[in-house]
Amino acid sequence: MKYLLITIAILLGSSPVLIAQKPPVKSPENEKFVFLNNGATVGMIIKSVVKADKQRLKLTDQQLPKAKEIITKAVVDFNEGVKTLKAAGMNQKKLRTLALGVEDEKVKAYKAILTPEQYQIVVTQHKKVYPESRV
């Protein structure tokens, strides 16, 4: 068994000591979502948004991975922003400003992967929720 671990370590270009000492990578998707007290994680929110956007925008298989990446970034940014706001004193105006900023970035990132028709759906919906947006 020891020789097997050493062989694997040599093949991977690392020593067995380094392999055993690597800490597990903490995924942001396993973090608790700050606004929900029902045990929902960031990953659950991401899956829900991806599913909704896939239906709403009729995303293709080629668009889906990049869309998931964009959504993941937006959800993680929002979650971290709310944590910061809670620590610094959160109010409705600050929360709205945070949400607007995160959603604006998401819409801008979507532009690169969506067709003009799909993007128009995103912008129209975004303007309904955030009329003060400059997207």
Q: What is the pLDDT along the chain (135 residues), one digit of tens a residue?
A: 444 444 454 445 544 454 455 555 567 777 888 878 788 899 999 999 999 999 999 999 999 999 999 999 999 999 999 999 999 988 999 999 999 999 999 999 999 999 999 999 999 999 999 999 988
First-to-final CA distance of the chain: 59
Measured torsion, CA atoms of residues 98, 32, 107, 54, in degrees rounded to the nearest 10: -160
- Looking at residue 23, its pLDDT comes to 55
Q: What is the pLDDT of residue 93?
A: 94
CB-CB contact of 119 with 111 (8 Å): yes
Going from N- to C-terminal start, the domains of the chain cover 31-129
Q: How far apart are CA 133 and CA 135, in angstroms?
A: 6
* CA separation for the pair 18, 60 (Å, rounded): 41
Per-residue pLDDT reduced to its tens digit, 71-89: 999 999 999 999 999 999 8
Q: Given this model, what pLDDT does residue 15 score?
A: 45
Using a cut of 0.85, tell me whether the model's pTM lies above it.
Answer: no
Write out the two tokens for 135.
């997207």
Per-residue model confidence (pLDDT) at position 2 = 44
The three-class DSSP label of residue 74 is: helix
For 3-111, list the strands marked E by DSSP: none
Judged on CB neighbours under 10 Å (0-12, 13-18, 19+), 29 is middle
Residues in the chain: 135
> Where is 37: in which H helix or E strand?
none
